[in-house]
Amino acid sequence: MTPEEISANIGTPTGTVRAQLTRIQRKVRSGDFSPPPLPIEQIASRKRIYLAGFDVFRTDAMERGHYLRELCASFGFEATYPLDANVRDGLSPTERATWIYRSNIEAIRACDIVMANVDDFRGPGEADSGTAFEIGFSAALNKDVWAYTTNEGTVLDRVSSQLTSMGAFCERGFLVEDFGLSKNLMIACAARIVSGDAATCLAEMATKYGMEGTPSLYRPAGESEIRSTG
């Protein structure tokens, strides 16, 4: 806008507007004043989170993704959900699986942080295998990895086992690890695990990264966290 247009819009004499613009320009050149970032610059500077977890297998997976993205935004983060990308039409089941795999890999590469839902999945003490892979891949890329779980106690607490002189063995005859961890050591040692739900994890992340935000009050109809199956 020209000084004349600004003058007309705010009802201030053109001479006054020109003088104020000149003073601002001098401050900017001398480094005494930095203009506030544009909205698009503010969004671009936000840390981006990849939302890993078995939420994509829920019957309300899309609504769940919307909830998680809104929740991340309320804490000042941008978020990518695995179902954000639309799979191309006409692919065979194998081609479709490969397309999803590559899409998720690229989404992880493009993010700053991975936040994973590692609640027990299809069995006590075990996180979703796809999520476990994404945590490992992210750790290999030196991404910051966070995880959250509502499961209480250690792996040994939740897995049905029998104690022997050689340790605790599950019903199928395999040793149950006993490191006092809530998840398998390869997950627990690769991620910062937060006890609680996604909002609890985001609150700790916001503190760690110096973000400001307020948890979203939005929650889908019938929304409930999936708890341990054990």
Give the model's pLDDT for residue 16.
82
Domain annotation covers residue 224: no
Q: Are residues 80 and 176 in the same domain?
A: yes
Number of domains present in the structure of the chain: 2
Task: Verify that 91 and 5 share a domain, yes or no.
Answer: no
- Point out the least confidently predicted range of 162-166, 177-181, 210-214: 210-214
Residue 225 lies in a domain: no
Closest CA to 47 of 131, 132, 119, 146: 146
Residue 217 pLDDT > 70, yes or no? no
Query: How far from chain centre, in Å, is Cα 74?
Result: 12
Q: Which residue has the higher pLDDT, 228 or 212?
A: 212
The domain spanning residue 123 has which CATH number? 3.40.50.450
DSSP codes joined into one string, 143-175: -EEEEEE---S-HHHHS-EEEETTEEEETTS-B
74 and 98 assigned to the same domain: yes
* pLDDT score recorded for residue 54: 97
Q: What is the mean pLDDT of residues 29-54?
A: 70
Report if residue 216 sits inside a domain. Answer: no
What residue numbers bound the domain in which 59 lies?
39-209
Q: Does 61 share its domain with 13? A: no
Residue 32 is predicted with a pLDDT of 66
Over residues 37-43, the mean pLDDT reads 49
Which amino acid is present at 45?
A: S
On whether both 126 and 30 belong to a single domain, the answer is no
